[in-house]
């Protein structure tokens, strides 16, 4: 199967269409544990396809072990008027449960941050569940700090 973004058997690289089934599986794991979201593989597939087709809007980095996608993180790009330039939202960081606790999450996060810098981003912002203390400690170890701002949203699309 030809792929515009061939990946090494192991390591971190930018995802391509061949990784879609694995990415949907990882998002199912992630959204099953998050308070605000519910897994919906059809919607996740639709969103992933849109993201992969528009790298100027964002990109997905994956981590492979023995040729299998075991982790992912997506970066979504926008413009900050406060900083006067491009910034990124770090979204959907998830590792397969069997891949956790091996230092891979830190490597994947560091790669995403380096990629955001290379894309000219001036800031990376992320959200975690307010009660997910392990994730908050993880991000703090990698240089993130809580913001005084509070996320608010209005959702226009309900469950399928």
Would 148 be classed as within a structural domain?
A: no
Query: With 90 as the cut, is the pLDDT of residue 1 above it?
Result: no
Any domain includes 83: yes
Please indicate, yes or no, if residue 149 is contained in any of the structural domains.
no
Is position 6 within any domain? Answer: no
For residues 101 and 6, the answer to whether their CB atoms sit within 8 Å is no
Decide if 157 is inside a domain: no
Paired residues of 67 in beta bridges: none
Write b or e for each residue in 45-81: b if 16 or more Cβ atoms lie within 10 A of its Cβ, otherwise e. Answer: eebbeebbeeeeebbbbbbbbeeebbbbbbbbbeeee
Q: What is the pLDDT of residues 69-83, one digit of tens each?
A: 999 999 999 999 999
List pLDDT tens digits, range 34-70.
Answer: 888 889 999 999 999 999 999 999 999 999 988 899 9
Rounded distance between C-alpha atoms, residue 105 and residue 149, angstroms: 26
Report the number of distinct structural domains present in the chain. 1
Residue 120 has pLDDT above 80, yes or no: yes
pLDDT at res. 37: 87
User: Considering the domain boundaries, does residue 2 fall inside one?
Assistant: no
pLDDT-derived band at 119, boundaries 50, 70, 90:
very high
Asked, for residue 144, whether it belongs to a domain, the answer is no
Range of the domain at 27: 11-139
Note the pLDDT of residue 9: 60
CATH number at residue 71: 3.40.630.30
pLDDT tens track for 127-152: 999 999 999 999 999 999 999 999 99
User: pLDDT confidence of 24, banded at 50, 70, 90?
Assistant: very high
> Does residue 87 belong to any structural domain of this protein?
yes
């Amino acid at each position: 199967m030809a792929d515009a973004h061939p990946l090494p058997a192991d390591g971190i690289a930018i995802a391509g269409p061949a990784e879609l089934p694995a990415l949907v599986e990882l998002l199912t794991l992630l959204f099953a544990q998050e308070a605000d979201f519910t897994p919906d593989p059809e919607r996740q597939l639709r969103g992933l396809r849109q993201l992969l087709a528009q790298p100027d809007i964002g990109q997905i980095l994956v981590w492979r072990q023995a040729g299998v996608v075991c982790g992912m993180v997506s970066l979504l790009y926008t413009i900050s008027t406060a900083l006067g330039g491009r910034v990124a939202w770090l979204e959907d960081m998830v590792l397969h449960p069997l891949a956790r606790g091996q230092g891979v999450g830190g490597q994947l996060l560091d790669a995403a941050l380096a990629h955001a810098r290379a894309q000219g981003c001036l800031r990376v912002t992320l959200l975690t569940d307010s009660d997910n203390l392990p994730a908050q400690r993880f991000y703090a170890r990698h240089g993130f700090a809580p913001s005084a701002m509070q996320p608010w949203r209005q959702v226009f699309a309900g469950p399928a």
